[in-house]
Amino acid sequence: MPAARIGLLQAGYVHPDVARDHGDYPELFADLLRLGGLDAELVTYDLQRDGGPTTLDGHDGWIISGSVSSAYEDEDWIRDLERLSLALLDRDEPVVGICFGHQVLARATGGQVEKAAAGWGVGVHDYHLTGPHRAWTGGLEPDPVRMVASHQDQVVELPDGAEPFLTSPFCPNAGFTLGSDAMTIQAHPEFTPAVSAELIGMRRAVLGDDLADAATATLPRGTDNPVVARWITTFLGADR
């Protein structure tokens, strides 16, 4: 069977100092798909520099990456991405939105995104599965589910028809699905604790010492990235 062809809609960039050691989004998501056991060809579309794909044909699924931009910013490329997201949802190809991608998919389908009153979410956070059992978890349902958070915006209102499946006290709408068309996650399953440590260090002046120290203290707990990677690859590739 040929490898799945997954389009990565790269909406932003990992800080170059971090990318030098760990890779930018194309490398991080390629690693995540391998971790989840999906034999995939990852085709990257740099939305800010090059625009979106010229054709949607020839792909088996899509990932929308994170970004330092906010989904509600009035930028042409973000509005283009919203329209592209709606076009993808009209096709029988799964879409996975991560962090900024989670927020863009929410806004494109009628949800609301705002800067969180709680401030920055950084470090390893605990999330809890909610709602009915979903086949794409494959029975892999740890409680809590631990992932790296790195965001100050949140989805504050889900779109109509969205089914929430991840929540936390800090981020109530931490993940949702739109039927079998889209899965979204606010956290970064492609980020390791080492990536998070470097990002926290770079943002210490913005975060403040207390939050930076508290977030750094969560990193030794590790993450459930292998589990979430399996969810994503199953959603993208298995049973389709």
Half-sphere exposure of 97 (CA within 13 A, CB side): 30
Active-site entry in 99, 102, 125, 151 = 99
Which residue shows structure tokens 């699905």?
177
- H or E element, residue 106: helix 100-108
Taking phi first (over 0 means left), then psi (-120 to 50 degrees means alpha), and beta for anything else, what does residue 110 get?
Answer: left
**Whole-angstrom distance, CA of residue 83 vs CA of residue 201:** 36
Strands 112-115 and 95-98: unpaired
Active site residue 114: no
Active site residue 99: yes
CB atoms within 10 A of CB 102: 30
Active-site entry in 102, 125, 151, 188 = 188
Active-site entry in 93, 102, 190, 198 = 190
Distance in Å from the first CA to the final CA of the chain: 13
Half-sphere exposure of 92 (CA within 13 A, CB side): 2
Question: Over the Cα atoms of the chain, what is R_g?
Answer: 16
Active site residue 188: yes
Catalytic residues: 99, 188, 190
